[in-house]
Structures are given as structure tokens and as C-alpha cells.
Structure 1
């Protein structure tokens, strides 16, 4: 792919991101809207991305990765321990999913259907800070999945999560307690094994 094609592709992704920021309902975004705003033909979107959902999945993936990277690089969290950073990041991700429930449902179902496993990988650097060399890469990947699985479940069906756990993730206090318990359970178990 030449640089002009790459620039056009990035323009379509950026346009999709802008549209995602403007609406909570992914279903309201059309290929025609994306094409008109990016000033490209509909066929070009289909050529590069095969479908609107694929384009939106890429745009959302970029957005989520940016949130996690911005959080990791932010100086306002520099004084927090790695465990507190992880808890704070999860609370912010849950708050985002609470604000954009339909978007989160689309993200999770799209990731699962397409086999996208990139999101958990963004947690690995923070988990390495927490566990150091006590865990290998495979163990860290499993931990990342254990941490993100509840977010995925609530993204798909928060009522089912509530029926199972009794935790209403729409309630900030309950959500915060859940995150505290989840991370404490994972880290305390490790400390007991090594202590």
C-alpha cells in the first residue's frame, strides 16, 4: 500500500472515530456518513475495510488503545503505585463503558466475533510493573484476561452480570468495590504464594 492509500485509510479511520464521539449508538453510523465526511467513495471504504463494522472496530480499537496508553503515560498518575494505577484505569474504563453502553456492547461483541485479543495486551506493561519477574509472559496474559473478562461481560449484558454477582456496575460505589476486590484478590494471591 502506497503512502496516499495509507493516508486515505487513516482519514477514514479518523472520520469513523469522530462519528463515534458524536453518538452513543453505533448502529446510527452509516457507510454513507463516513464516506461523505471523509470525502471518499463508499466503494473505497468497502475495498479497504470490507465492512462498516470492520472500520468501526479498528477505530474503536485505536481509541481504546489511546485511552490506555494516555493513562499509562499520564503524569497525573505518576505518584500512584502500579496496583493503584491499574485500579484507577479500570474504574475509568468502566465509567466510559457506563456512559457509552451501546458502543461498549459493539466493541466487545466485535472483538469476540473477530477474535481480537489486542486489548488485554495493553495491560501487560502495567502488570509487569506489579509482578516484576515473578510472572512470565503467559501468566501475565492470563491475568490480563481475568481482569478484562468482567468488563467484557458487563459490556455485553450488565443485567446478566448483576444476576450472577449481585453487583450493579452502573452504581459507581458498587463498581469501585468490585474493582478493588478483583485486583486485591489477584495481587494478594500472588503475594501469599511468594510470601
Structure 2
């Protein structure tokens, strides 16, 4: 029970520091544990690493934004619903750009692959049994991973492709382009 309290306290303090503008690069384990009033070793005891702690704190901050969005409605085709979800998600990612960039390496390289599962049902509905489960999973993975990488390397991607994902119009066009390539009309 005490470990859960310490874990929650570390997450709460990390979120507070991030929301108060502390630069992620200045967010050391020592600084977090000091602010939380805990032993430095508790970060590695309660989490796999400081990076996991930061990722959880960022997820908590961003998840508040998602409470306003529900994509389980039946308005439009599966592709339109997926498009709307990706645009909404991308706007939040851009809004919290510095925070999401901080958690992206952990998300891409260490966390279990689960974000593509959030869009898998819409992809399956779009293809209506013309693609196997495996093919749909690869498509979901392609969509999510490309977006994550583009958000993480936004400036380099802009230089490479001439698409500024920080500009809402260009971001929407990019998502439409990606969906047209990966989810052609069946």
C-alpha cells in the first residue's frame, strides 16, 4: 500500500512539474524524488526507469483531453471515423509537443505495442473481411508508428517531405494522404 502511495506521489509530482513548465531535460530522477519527498531509489523500485515514470505522467496529462472525445459512434464510414480520431489525437499530440517528444523514445522502443490496437477495429470494419487479421494489424501498426515518428522528428520530416505537421491544415492533409495510401476504398 505504501509503495502504491509512493508511486502515485511520484507520478503526481512529475505531472505537476511538467505542467509548470519544467523542461523534460531538467527533470532528473534526483529532482523528482526530492520534490516528492522520497528516496531516489524509489523511482527505479516503482517504475522500470525514469523514462517510464515520465511516459506515465505524460499519458495522464494527455488522457484528460481524450475524455471529451468518443470514437465509438456510428457517424460515417469506418475510414471517416478513423480519420477523425487520428486528427483529434494528432492535435493533442501537437498541443503537448514537448511532453510527447519526451515520452516517445520509451513508447517506440520499450513499451508493449498496444496503441495500434485502439484503431484496429476501425481498420477491420473498413476492409470488411477482405484483409486478414494479420494484414489489418500491420496496417494499424504502419499508421501509428509513422505518426509517432513524424511527431518525434517533426522538423526533419518537414525538411524531407515539405509537410509541417504543426500546421493543422498540413497535418490533416498528411493524415488523409496516409489513409488514402493504406486504406483504399474496397
Residue 84 of structure 2: which of 81, 88, 93 is its match?
A: 88
* TM-score normalised over the length of structure 1: 0.74
In the alignment, structure 1 segments of 5+ residues that lack a partner are: none
Mapping for residues 8-157 of structure 1, pairs under 5 Å: 8-23=6-21, 25-61=23-59, 71-72=69-70, 79-114=75-110, 116-157=112-153
- Asked if the contact 2:151/2:165 (under 8 Å) is kept, the reply is no
Aligned partner (choices 168, 175, 179) of residue 183 of structure 1 = 179
Corresponding residue pairs, total:
186
> Can you give the 5+ residue segments of structure 2 that lack an aligned partner in the other structure?
none
Q: Assess if the C-alpha contact under 8 Å between 2:44 and 2:50 holds in 1.
A: yes
Aligned counterpart, 2:167: 171
Secondary structure of the corresponding residue to residue 184 of structure 2: helix
Query: Is the 8 Å Cα contact of residues 58 and 100 (structure 2) preserved in structure 1?
Result: no
Q: CA deviation at 1:66?
A: 7.0
Provide the aligned C-alpha RMSD in A: 3.1
* 1:36–1:177 distance in 2 versus 1, CA, 3 Å: same
**TM-score where L is the length of structure 2:** 0.77
How far residue 176 of structure 1 moved from its aligned partner, in angstroms, is 0.9
Structure 1 pair 55–113 and aligned structure 2 pair: CA distance change class (3 A): same
Contact 2:71–2:85, Cα closer than 8 Å, also in 1: no
**Greater CA deviation, 137-146 or 127-136?**
127-136
